[in-house]
Chain A
Amino acid sequence: MTLIRSARETHAYSPGLKVKRADKIRRIRRLPILGKVLVKEGDRVDFSTIVAETMIPGEPNIIKVAAELDILEMDINDYMRMVVGDKVKKGDVIAEYNAFFGLFKKHINSPVNGIIESISPISGQVIIREEPVPLSMNAYIPGRIVQLLENEGTIIETNAAFIQGIFGIGGEAHGELRVATEDPHEILTHKLIEEDDEGKVVVGGSLVTKEAVDRALEVGVIGIVTGGITDIILEEILGYELGVAITGQEEINLTLIITEGFGDIAMNPRTLEIFKEFEGSIACINGATQIRAGVIRPEVIIPHEKFALEEVGDELSDGMTQGTSIRIIRQPYFGYLGRVVGLPVELQTVETESKVRVVEVELEDGRRVIVSRANVEIIEV
């Protein structure tokens, strides 16, 4: 058998981020543990509709009764004043040791309100379970319930513009969109945050400054969507250095989404165009990012019925072919947009001397460049 070096073009596969004016969006709303689903299939829900609820079991409190009373584990029941299932209040005596007609006395009080869950004559421990904590889950996006997940949650569907970011911090929120920069190359400074931006999602620019974030927090902005951020500004906002990219739980009072990457990088003009078109609409945003173990990218969902759904295939699944719109995501052409003009089979040597599979790209300025296939991503428009 000989290796084939045909001139034919090959299949290429480079996942990218979705930037779509109109798409059918489905979101799974799943409780962390089993609970009760409060909606029916076909129901219409709004951002804040509670779709499911559950009771999160209370904290367990383990008390080393045998050790504290200095008794044998197997004798624990002889000293207990409570049995399994009893309700206790903080301070109640749960176990007591009496010797010499009360001369030597020790007792153990419950540290919390709760229920005696177990008394173990093996370990000598008593477990008191605190009251369960109610947890409600809202819809996050407005739309129609299309499927129920028995005792777990539901799936909501809506027609919307959909923009995936590359990285974000902060959780789910919704607010009115306001585009703060005309030019995607403009830096989003504090001067561009306005007094009446309270509750809004402010969009635009190639980079957000720390002062702009501070100003946004002061005004009560709920979200910022911008092209880039620097590592140093991110650290200043968070107050710590991020190790692995698992985010969404930060307590920073706003959600921040970057669409392009780290550094001063102009927002993709097509992305900005969509934001401009929907300025004034309500957007659902989520900064949660997880780049490992089931990737989650931050997102902006702008529900609307203005457009018919685009009858395009899923470019991401189809892979890269002639004419596919791509973005270069590594130096020396990091941030450039273009379209595929060639997918040669042969490995080619790049500056590092690595032999890699490449793609020939015509940049928007007309230049043709050859880059590694690993360093481009498909833009779904």
Chain B
Amino acid sequence: MSSRDIIFQVDEAARSRLHRPVEEMNYILATDVGSTTTKARFFQKKEEGWRYIVSGEAPTTVEAPYEDVTMGVKNAVREVEELTGHQMLESEGGGIILPFQDNKGVDLYCTTSSAGGGLQMMVAGVIKTMTAESANRAALGAGAIVMDVIATNDGRATYSKIQRIRNLRPDMILLAGGTDGGTISHVVQLAELIKSADPKARLGVTYKLPIVYAGNKIARQYIKNLLEEPFALDIVDNLRPILEIEDIEPARRAVHELFMEHVMSHAPGYNKLMKWTEVDIMPTPAGEGMAVNLISKSFGKNTLGVGLGGATTNIYSIIRERFVRSVSANLGMSYSICNVLKETGIDNIMRWSPLELEENEVRNSLRNKMIRPTTIPETLEEMIIEHAVAREALRLGLEHHKTIATRLKGTRTVSAFERGMTSQEMIETYIDMMNIGIIAGTGGLLSHAPRRVQSLLILTDAFQPQGVTMLFQDSVFMMPHLGVLSTVYPEAAWNIFDKDCLVRLGSVIAPRGIGRETENVLNIEMEMPEGDTLKEQVKWGEVKRIKLNEKQVTDVRISPTKHFDMGEGAGKEVVTKVEGGVVGVILDGRGRPLNLPEEIKERQRKLLEWFKSLDMYPQKMLGEIL
């Protein structure tokens, strides 16, 4: 697929500020200042187009005693310099050399950031399931962590809402409520509530807290009278002008602009970093979201994306072109690892390990990761524990996402019900794993998994894809980098994305249904690239791996048995195409929903069987531990 086939949104204003026209560029440097690690990625234009060259990483330095993110950026870039011999940093403590000349520097430098807690917002709307929900989606879409959603009818007493607002210390507030021309008293009540609570920003007493108002337009003057003085008020178009329409783009844009103007300029070292780059610093999740959107558009399929970070888990769904992002602020693999433990419980973590582990040891090990979040597992045992936590963080993240990815209230479809979703699920979400064609993962743990099959199985166990699903992974964690790059130079971003970033892990064929031991789940006939036909039978509880390389696409006939459904109904045959990847094609006969055996020994035996079948971990080492 060429970049011309994909619709890009270019920020022309930012593009006009670049040091050099994009056509004349040869070197690009992009960083992501993450909550744990600052990741530098270096790109170069080659004969075949733009390519990823090398990475450099260093701990983020947002914290004391450094309190200057540019130190971490320089350390990460220095690593790139050491690996390439290409000088990019000014020698006397300056920033990035721009543009490239005399064999030094780069033509473009851009960055995303989620350090220092990212963008933390409070959202308020009149009706919990209407304007408050839309405002929540707008804030999340802008890359924010939503600390709380206050609504007139959220069931909390006024005094407890006031207490909550006073305790939150957000970076920004988004206020919505009412359809245009409708009643104004409720949204004004909310504004009075916010004003009287007098929220303090976490960025200090001199910081004027920004509020974006995206509610009923005829209430604007009253809102202005109330909120203009104590806050930095920005008024934009109503995000629910009428009940049937949700227009979150103006609010999302305002949030992004205020993020740059207020939040970034108060974070340690960002003023310096902002001068280094000609492109606005983008919140990491916004960059990540752009990349997931790009995948969905490129392949024309419903897509579920995930950024499994150290502090947060971001999930993106693009279903029939509707983009929704959720962020689970306290589900992550380092800072938030113990919150995953708290939310899911130790048993749910340990159920994914085939090893005999002491519960106390696991708990202490997770606590040690929490307090020293930049460390990485060096033993197989510790890696298996982290992989177990990752499954639970993703599972909980998806549960959370389903509460955001909901229909605008007032509309209903019956297809989800027909697909076997419970009536509660149908009301709450439109995410149906049978309709998801692509799952894409990024984030340190997934991108750095030593074997690609590890990320494939982690994503599969957590999300439980149904039918035929293609799985992708960010090769070395550069989706956010390419997301921000795509705002000024989409052609280069797509080149790198397609060739170097997007790893096709393979496809998972997984029917829905529950079976019994020894029962057949499905039979497949697959036309292999060599010309022969592969026939495989999958029994209940089995997982098989078939070799089919990246970009190899083949026809497959899938015949589920009578208790299993591949999307066309129980026992109905499906003929489709399946794409390979670095892992291949996985035939998953473990059923959906995936239930692990209750009995510990049996469960450990099963896990080991799956790990062996997929070649998940080094067999010798696994054998030694067991």
Contact = CB atoms under 8 A, between A and B. Distances in A.
Interface string A325-343: 0000111101000000000
Interface string B283-298: 0000000000000000
A62 B158 contact: yes
A14 B60 CA distance: 10
Given A32-B205, A57-B198, A292-B335, A317 B66 contact: yes
Kindly name the residue among A11, A230, A262 whose own CB sees the greatest number of chain B CB atoms within 10 A. A262
B382 A245 contact: no
Nearest to B184: A122
A68 B170 CA distance: 32
Contacts of B185: 73, 122-124
B360 interface: yes
Interface residues of B, number: 77
B202 interface: yes
A90 B378 CA distance: 64
A295 B82 contact: no
A60 interface: yes
A334 B382 CA distance: 12
A156 B184 CA distance: 50
A263 B336 contact: no
A261 B361 CA distance: 13
Interface stretch (B186-194, B237-245, B466-474): B186-194
Contacts of A377: 372
Contact of B63 (A14, A34, A295, A332): A295
A371 to B, nearest CB: 7
Contacts of A129: 196
Interface string A299-310: 000000000000
Given A122-B188, A127-B192, A353-B451, A293 B378 contact: no
Contacts of B58: 13
Contacts of B197: 60
A152 B205 contact: yes
A324 interface: no
Contacts of A248: none
Contact of A62 (B82, B162, B339): B162
B97 to A, nearest CB: 16
Interface in A1-44: 1, 3-4, 10-11, 13-15, 18, 30-34
Nearest to B381: A331
A291 interface: yes
Interface in B70-112: 71, 75, 78-79, 82-86
B65 interface: yes
Interface in B367-397: 367-368, 370-383
A366 interface: no
B189 A356 contact: no
Contacts of A296: 64
A309 B193 CA distance: 52
A127 B117 CA distance: 33
Interface stretch (A135-143, A198-206, A344-352): A344-352
Interface string A256-293: 00000111000000000000000000000000010111
28 contacts: A4-B83, A4-B85, A11-B78, A15-B59, A15-B63, A31-B205, A34-B205, A118-B196, A122-B188, A243-B338, A245-B370, A289-B371, A291-B370, A292-B35, A294-B63, A294-B268, A296-B64, A316-B66, A319-B75, A330-B378, A330-B382, A345-B82, A352-B450, A354-B376, A354-B450, A374-B375, A374-B376, A377-B372
Given A13-B59, A57-B198, A291-B335, 7 more contacts: A14-B59, A15-B59, A123-B185, A124-B185, A242-B338, A351-B378, A354-B450
Interface of A: 1, 3-4, 10-11, 13-15, 18, 30-34, 57, 59-62, 64, 73, 117-118, 120, 122-125, 127, 129, 152, 166-167, 230-232, 234, 241-245, 261-263, 289, 291-296, 314, 316-317, 319, 329-332, 334, 345, 350-356, 371-372, 374-375, 377
